[in-house]
């Protein structure tokens, strides 16, 4: 497991239950990647991380946290 956690599931809920498919479309990735991110099995590239934050209209730190 990675030490980078994220709040994607929570943010999707806060954005009127945005579906994984919708988020994937907005961020330009596959739904499987969103699933892997929510399960903490995959660490995205900086570019994808920014795209996800942009899809929610928040900063990077509000989506991803490093538990160092």
Partner 1 sequence: MSYNTYRFWKLLVIIIVAILVGWAVPSGYAFIPVPVAVIGMGILYIIKRGVKEIVIDERTYNIANRASRMAFQTVTLAMVLIGATLVALSYGKHPGVGPMGLTLIYSAAGLMAVYLISYVYYGKKVGGKS
Q: What is the DSSP letter of 32?
A: H
Residues from 38 through 67 that contact partner 1 (CB under 8 A): 42, 44-45, 47-48
Instruction: Between 9 and 14, name the residue whose CB sits nearer to partner 1.
Output: 9
2 binds partner 1 (CB under 8 A): no
Q: In the 8-state DSSP scheme, what is residue 6?
A: E
Distances (CA, A) of 40 to 2, 7, 16: 7, 10, 22
For residue 25, give the nearest of 17, 33, 14 by alpha carbon.
Answer: 33
In this complex, which beta carbon is closest to partner 1, that of residue 2 or of residue 25? 25
Binding site for partner 1 (CB under 8 A): 21, 24-25, 28-33, 36, 42, 44-45, 47-48
């Amino acid at each position: 497991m990675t030490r980078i956690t994220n709040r994607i599931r929570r943010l999707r809920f806060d954005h009127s239950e945005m579906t994984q498919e919708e988020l994937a479309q907005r961020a330009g990735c596959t739904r499987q990647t969103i699933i892997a991110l929510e399960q903490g099995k995959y660490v995205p590239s900086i570019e994808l991380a920014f795209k996800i934050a942009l899809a929610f209209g928040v900063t990077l730190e509000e989506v991803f946290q490093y538990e160092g």
